[in-house]
Amino acid sequence: MAFSFIKPTRHDVYPFIDPQDGLKGAADGKTVLITGAGSGIGRRIAQSFALAGASKLILGARRVEKLEETRSIILESTTECDISIIRLDIADEVSAKELFAGLDSPPDVVVSNAAVALAQADIAASDPALVAQEIDINVKGPYLIARYYVEAVNAAETTGCLIHVSSESSWKFIPNCSTYGFSKIAGNLMIEYLQREEERGAARVRCVAMHPGGVVTELAGRELPEQIKKLLIDQPALPGGTAVYLSTERARFLSGRYVPATADMEELEKEKGRIVREDLLKTRVVGWFGSLGALVMIIWTFLSFVSTALKAHSVAPPRSCTA
């Protein structure tokens, strides 16, 4: 990924992405579904959309009592939002399918936030059962949410927006986080594929992957190594406001990309031309040419072959005229 001009300068909500300031009314009339909304980042994202004017929130998680807490917190700051609670296991296909089948219409925005970090160990010391469970929730789960959301939007012939909550560990080495890291990079790639499908008309949903920053959450407090916890200096309001921004039409240029909430979104807009032109903020193999480089290599190989053939022909001895 290319981060040469993108710096982690933000650690809390700021006016440009504040749902009560720069993004006031940005979610007016929208229905927003958030998975993993029972605590931490998911809870604050839900609150931010409510403050930005969302008319309806659908909160999904396995622990209904935590969703009740989220609803109570949101209603303390606004009473103009209808809030539904759904017990949801994103890794269970029936649960994910019934979620969208049971709605009158597909949500305008889905924030796929639910995730776990269970296998905190070097690969050789990891527990295969925990790894399998983590992959089930972090890879299969977001896939099922995306699959049935896109299907619902396509069937309704409307449009939607999917925000996948990613992680810095999807591209950066963090000790003992291998399973979490490769499960999150799978989500980044899924977002890229979905965006390509939208571009060719196979999906009516635009997508983006968002790194929420280093936020102290229930998951981080329970399962991350101490050396990692010390780096968690970002406030939950930061990914909350960033998610609202990414759901707006002005953020369309970031579709299919990995966007760190710690970057200044106003500054990113100033780099819109470069980001689109150079196709930045995507997962790539460093050191390889890419599609243009591959074409150059093919041409270079062909010209080298022709040059070698011509040289061989020019020094070839005359043919014998004898039988």
The per-residue pLDDT for range 274-306, each reduced to its tens digit, is 999 999 999 887 776 555 555 555 566 566 666
Residue 136 has pLDDT above 50, yes or no: yes
Q: What is the mean pLDDT of residues 43-57?
A: 98
Mean pLDDT of the residues in the chain: 88
Fold observed for domain 15-277:
Rossmann fold (3.40.50)
In Å, what is the CA distance from 41 to each residue of 44, 105, 150, 230, 234?
5, 25, 24, 18, 11
- The larger pLDDT score, comparing residue 145 to residue 314, is at 145
Q: What is the mean pLDDT of residues 148-171?
A: 96
Rounded to whole angstroms, the Cα distance separating 165 from 85 reads 20
Over residues 78-87, the pLDDT tens digits come to: 888 999 999 9
DSSP state letters, 61-76: ES-HHHHHHHHHHHHH
Sign of CA dihedral 97, 94, 181, 115: positive
Confidence (pLDDT) at 6: 76
For residue 120, what pLDDT is reported? 83
What pLDDT is stored for residue 309 in this prediction? Answer: 64
Distance CA 34, CA 44 (A): 10
- pLDDT for 192: 96
Looking at the predicted structure, is the pLDDT value of residue 204 above 70?
A: yes
Distance between CA atoms of residues 76 and 295, nearest Å: 58
Least confident stretch, 24-33, 41-50, 277-286, 311-320: 311-320
Residue 26's identity, in one-letter code, is A
pLDDT-based confidence at 2, cuts 50/70/90? very low
Contact 120, 130 (CB under 8 A): no
pLDDT interval class at 212 (50, 70, 90): very high
Give me the helix-helix angle, 141-156 and 93-101, nearest 10°.
30
Q: Is 109 helix (H, G, I), strand (E, B) or coil?
A: strand
